[in-house]
Amino acid sequence: MNVISFKKPTNIFLGLFSFLLAMSLSSTTLQAQEDGEKLFKSYCASCHSPGANQLVGPGLAGVYDKYEREWLYKWIKNSSALIATGDAQAISVYEQYNKVIMPAQPVTNVQIDAILDYLKVYAEAAPVVAVVVPPTVVVEDEGMSGYAIAGIVVLFLILIILLRKVQYIFTAAKAREAGEDMPEETTMTQALGLTISQNKTIFALMGIVCLALFAKGGWDSAFGVGVYQGYEPEQPIKFSHELHAGTNGIDCNYCHNSASYSKSAGIPSPNLCMNCHTYIQEGPQYGKEEIGKIYAALDFDPVTKTYGPNQKPIKWVKVHNLPDHVYFNHSQHVAIGKIACEKCHGPVETYTVGKQYAELTMGWCINCHRETKVQMADNGYYDEIHNRLPEELKKQYLEDGTITVSELGGIECAKCHY
């Protein structure tokens, strides 16, 4: 019997310890990167991009190598106090960016380190800039419409009539050559009637098919009344969601901040735009023209950075319109239901112009309520509801953790209709 023996157990234990230590450090590093990203979005993203693009403040790419870490701690925590000490570097940065004071941030050195680590990882993972080729638009074949089939039937009838005429011409020519009496010429109506009388079964079936197709077309048209899926109106200012939400990564709630506490998501005030566009006066897509429209609405002078008295509202065109008898509350879905904006509005970060993504019909909403699982865990709003659940639903929730909105009354008429 062969016995396997380990001559150097100490080395094996050291190797195992090193492996576990490496895994632990890797996990810690990953967690730090995730925390750094969250901290960046919480404290920095409204004024800075993680890349080289300038927003209100400069892009933060390379900031971790450009400045000493101790100096960054002081600057981020309280830039005003650092400037007041006469620090030459702080004064230089302050003057370089139009003497705009960076607000003091309530962060620790450890949190700043996490943010800087995230910026470094972000820079290393940044893709190489390439020529952007517009995507090929693929039109899906939806099949032949009823109107197209009806048109083919009409063309078929016209073809039959023409063939009847051609047949008559040949028959008349043969009769003339044989010295026989000329056949009587039939009119278009007679030719059609004769064709139908000789093919009654075929034309009866064709009539039934055409009637069914026209009925389906009318049915589909009736169900399309009030449905504006794909509606994409031209706006008074060409605002690119792709640039702001996609390229610059600005969170939806930064502009539509009332979505988390109000029935309406709200239209951002032009003053909110000025948080960035006081200093960003030219865009990569439309240059100064569209940003100039914001300045005109606010009577803002970009040179002196002063506001005049002749301000006027921007007449945005509303995209999403629900019937007056329908109740919808954004905060219920965003803050309580924790539904992502993309669920209803689609991939907004890819839109050049805002548009209606979903049908927003009653059937669409009901299907969503039937399929969406209620997020009861760690959600104080549902604590009392959970306590009042019938025993069978409590048992179901404890077993698989799933209760849909419909099971809590989410498809009752009075929930959505006045």
- Say what the pLDDT of residue 37 is: 83
Tell me if residue 300 falls in helix, strand or coil.
strand
DSSP 413: H
Distance CA 67, CA 85 (A): 18
Threshold 0.75, pTM exceeds = no
User: Does residue 26 register a pLDDT over 60?
Assistant: no
Residues 307-342: pLDDT tens digits?
A: 999 999 999 999 998 888 999 999 999 988 889 899
Q: At what angle are helices 200-223 and 188-198 packed, to 10 degrees?
A: 100
**Helix locations, 285-341, DSSP H:** 289-298, 330-331
Tell me if residue 28 falls in helix, strand or coil.
helix
Mean pLDDT of 158-179: 75
Contact 265, 332 (CB under 8 A): no
- Token reading at 400: 């698989």
DSSP 373: B
| Whole-number percent of the chain with pLDDT over 90 | 20
Question: Which of the pair, 224 or 259, is modelled with greater confidence?
Answer: 259
Residues 89-146: pLDDT tens digits?
A: 888 888 887 676 777 787 888 888 888 888 888 888 755 443 333 343 333 444 455 5
| Whole-number percent of the chain with pLDDT over 70 | 81
- Token reading at 220: 């589909």
Q: How many CB atoms lie within 10 A of CB 294?
A: 17
User: Does residue 352 register a pLDDT over 90?
Assistant: no
Residues 276-309: pLDDT tens digits?
A: 898 888 888 888 999 999 999 999 999 998 999 9
- Say what the pLDDT of residue 394 is: 77
Mean pLDDT of the chain: 79
Mean pLDDT of 25-36: 54
- Say what the pLDDT of residue 12 is: 43
User: Does residue 358 register a pLDDT over 50?
Assistant: yes
Contact 349, 242 (CB under 8 A): yes
Q: Residue 350, exposed/middle/buried by CB under 10 A (0-12, 13-18, 19+)? A: exposed
Residue 187 identity (one-letter amino acid): T
The pLDDT-based confidence of 147 (bands split at 50, 70, 90) is low
Question: Which of the pair, 237 or 382, is modelled with greater confidence?
Answer: 237
Mean pLDDT of 58-68: 86
Mean pLDDT of 376-401: 78
Mean pLDDT of 149-162: 74
**Residues 171, 172, 173, 174, CA torsion sign:** positive
Question: Which of the pair, 30 or 162, is modelled with greater confidence?
Answer: 162
Identify which of 243, 409, 407, 405 has the alpha carbon closest to the alpha carbon of residue 333. Answer: 405
User: Does residue 46 register a pLDDT over 70?
Assistant: no
HEC assignment per residue over 63-100: HHHHCCHHHHHHHHHCHHHHHHCCCHHHHHHHHHCCCC
- Say what the pLDDT of residue 146 is: 56
Identify which of 242, 294, 16, 42 has the alpha carbon closest to the alpha carbon of residue 134. Answer: 242
**Which residues does residue 306 pair with via DSSP β-bridges, in sequence order?**
301
- Say what the pLDDT of residue 13 is: 41
Class in CATH terms, 30-125: mainly alpha
Identify which of 289, 238, 295, 236 has the alpha carbon closest to the alpha carbon of residue 270. Answer: 295
Distance CA 248, CA 242 (A): 9
Chain centroid to Cα 208, Å, comes to 44
DSSP secondary structure string, 171-191? HHHHHHHHTPPPPPPPPHHHH
User: Does residue 364 register a pLDDT over 80?
Assistant: yes
- Say what the pLDDT of residue 185 is: 63
Tell me if residue 360 falls in helix, strand or coil.
coil
Q: Which residue has the tokens 């999403």?
A: 320
- Say what the pLDDT of residue 28 is: 46
User: Does residue 21 register a pLDDT over 80?
Assistant: no
Contact 254, 268 (CB under 8 A): no
Instruction: Bin 338: left if φ > 0, else alpha if -120 < ψ < 50, else beta.
Output: left
User: Does residue 16 register a pLDDT over 50?
Assistant: no
Q: Which of the residue ranges 144-148, 201-205, 365-369 would you say has the lowest mean pLDDT?
A: 144-148
Q: Which residue has the tokens 């967690």?
A: 31
Mean pLDDT of 222-237: 87
